[in-house]
Amino acid sequence: MGHCFSRDKSDGADSDEAVEFVGGNVHRVTSKEDWDQKLSEAKRDGKIVIANFSATWCGPCRMLAPFYCELSEKHSSLMFLLIDVDELTDFSTSWDIKATPTFFFLKDGQQIDKLVGANKPELQKKITGVLDSMGNYRK
């Protein structure tokens, strides 16, 4: 449900107007150093990280972006990150991203769950499960 795969960047289509990928409490990761810093912050603060590997040209990613921002505002006990697979190609490859969006759930830098695709109910369900495991779920 709702996957995008790598595209040829030479097609000239730039259709990322009007969709806000970063908002609420979503932090855009722009480098490996930025990633390391955010993971250190999360570990220090006892937060679970949700890392959204996405692309501006991906229709399902664009559809899910406002919902992801909304979730970040609702659940301040989690850290929401956004990684653009085209900006951080090598980094994304190191995470074996085959489709966008791909969400990783990380605790102390280690993967505890994963979701591939723009599935709002499943994303919400996984977040609820993570919050339950932390003992601080709030609707």
Active-site residue, from 48, 55, 61, 85: 61
How far apart, in whole angstroms, are the C-alpha atoms of residue 67 and residue 52?
A: 12
Given 39, 58, 97, 127, which residue is catalytic? 58
Instruction: Answer for the pair 30, 36: CB distance below 8 angstroms, yes or no.
Output: no
Is position 4 annotated as part of the catalytic site? Answer: no
Nearest CA among 117, 114, 122, 126 for reference residue 59 = 117
| Cβ-proximal residues to 120 (8 Å cutoff; 6+ apart), any chain | 64, 67
Residue 69 is a catalytic residue: no
Listed residue (26, 118, 106) closest to 73, CA to CA:
26
Catalogue the active-site residues.
58, 61
